Amino acid sequence: MARDRDENDHSDVPDDLSLRVKALQSLLVEKHFISQMQIDGVIEAFEHRIGPHLGAGVVARAWVDPEFRELLIRDGNAAMTVAGIGGWGHGARLVAVENTPTVHNVVVCTLCSCYPAQVLGLSPVWYKSAPYRSRVVIEPRSVLEEFGTVLGDDVEVRVWDSNSEVRYLVIPQRPAGTEHLAVEELARLVTRNAMIGVEVVPSPTSGPAR
Amino acid sequence: MNGIHDLGGMHGFGRVDAEPEAVEPLFHAEWEKPVGAMTLLLIQQGRWSLDRFRQTIESETPMEYLSRSYFERWLAAMETLVVEHGMVTPEELTTGKVASGQLAESAPSWSPVFEITEPPRYAIGDQVRAVNRHPPRSHPVTPLRPRTRWRDRRSRRRRTTPRAGR
């Protein structure tokens, strides 16, 4: 059953997966379709260069720079150019959706795993899992509660279903008590989960983010 | 295509079992790293488009789809596509060795990006109705959910983003 072997459970991955990957990889390298250097380069980018720190910088800048915030909401791709974030999202439109005291946005890809990789890097396992994809569109509040996010009845929840052409980034609300912080310090508060919309950015005075 | 990948609105999958962000590893096995890298590189080279890659994943049987992890699906799709594109033979995949006479000149690449000259039929803000069209062997253009209008009774309003029909 899916629950016995869902996507978080990797302890029982059969060894033959490693062997299959080795076979495919050595065939593609030996036949000069791909070089080992290219493979290592992409892995290096996954692990060290792209990631949610890029999105956090974008969000923090939007919090302190009204002109940038306006551009980010109006034309996400143009804002990426201004922020010097390139590649990876090529061909897709980045749409930033802003949380307010009365609107909370959350992002999903019900069909697969479309994700703003350009600013958030590789998506987490749960984002691609059947429980999240099936449920967040019909019962977003109970899914959010599983992340510890409880929203008041006066807050409208908007669920955005991504696709290969449009990727969504949530601009979380700037927490209270951060007026004195510099943009770099603000960026450190912004979690990836908040930019997917399953969590909010906690106030730095209310304890560390999980 | 009405496929198992079209998960939005289905019941029975249980809780979202999320690892906390702070302790979650980027990869959960070494083999996932080259799978991610090779997938990206082959699409970047234009061996096939992202849509073709997704269609291959979506053509798995529901049992395969649900029992495989995410990167396992990527691996299986790549194995299918390299054979379909004549880059590797099934025997080579089994042995991991290049068969004699199979050493490659690499296939010419093509770009999946093309210019659309036709003017768009809809403007931003137009109200559209999703068409219930889903031929069995094609990439889906509309998820099941907007076609059937599931609703969360606890949400006051829900926005979905209709996919453009093709």
CA angle B153, B66, A24 (to 5 degrees): 140
- H-run or E-run covering A98: strand A93-98
Instruction: Note whether B165 and B141 are within 8 A (CB).
Output: yes
- C-alpha A109 chain-centroid distance: 11
Report the C-alpha gap between A129 and A137 in whole angstroms: 13
Please give the Cα distance from A112 to A121 (Å, whole number).
16
Query: What is the pLDDT averaged over residues B38-59?
Result: 91
| Residues in chain A closer than 8 A to B31 (CB atoms) | 17-18, 21-22
Give the integer Cα–Cα distance in Å for B83 and B89.
6
Encoded tokens for B107 = 């296939």
Position A11 scores a pLDDT of 54
pLDDT in tens, A7-48: 455 555 558 899 999 999 999 999 999 999 999 999 999 999
Backbone angles phi, psi at A110, to 5 degrees: -65, -30
* Beta bridge mates, A169: A96
CA distance A79 to chain B (A): 20
Bridging pattern class, strands A93-98 and A166-171: parallel
- Residues of A labelled catalytic: 109, 112-114
Kindly determine whether residue B92 and residue A137, on different chains, have CB atoms separated by under 8 Å. Answer: no
pLDDT level of residue B147 (50, 70, 90 thresholds) = low
Name the residue type at position B94: T
Give the closest of A129, A137, A191 to B9, CB-based.
Answer: A137
More confident residue, B113 or A114: A114
- Closest by Cα among A101, A99, A78 to A152: A101
Q: Pull the structure tokens for residue A116.
A: 């703003």
What is the token pair recorded at B100? Answer: 């004699």
Q: What pLDDT, on the 0 to 100 scale, is given for residue B132?
A: 67
Percent of chain A whose pLDDT exceeds 70? 89
Question: Could you tell me the pTM of the whole model?
Answer: 0.81
The interface residues of chain B toward chain A in range 14-53, judged by CB-CB distance below 8 A, are 14-22, 24, 26-31, 33-38, 40-42, 45, 47, 50-51
- Please give the structure tokens belonging to residue A69: 């915030």
Least confident of A164-178, B36-50, B140-154: B140-154
Of the pLDDT bands very low, low, confident and very high (cuts 50, 70, 90), residue B130 is confident
Categorize the per-residue pLDDT at B127 as very low, low, confident or very high, splitting at 50, 70 and 90: confident
Question: Which of B83-87, B93-97, B131-135 comes out lowest in average pLDDT?
Answer: B131-135
Mean predicted lDDT score pLDDT of chain B: 80
* Tokens found for residue A111: 């069909």
Q: What is the ipTM of this complex?
A: 0.86
Higher pLDDT, A89 or B58: B58
Nearest CA-CA partner of A170 in A201, A124, A131: A201
Confidence band of A181 (pLDDT split at 50, 70, 90): very high
Please tell me the predicted confidence (pLDDT) of residue B146.
63
With an 8 Å Cβ cutoff, is A183 touching chain B?
no
Is B81 in contact with B39 (CB distance < 8 Å)? no
Residues ≥6 apart with Cβ < 8 Å to A30: B98, B103
* Position A139 confidence tier, pLDDT thresholds 50, 70, 90: very high
Three-class SS of residue A210?
coil
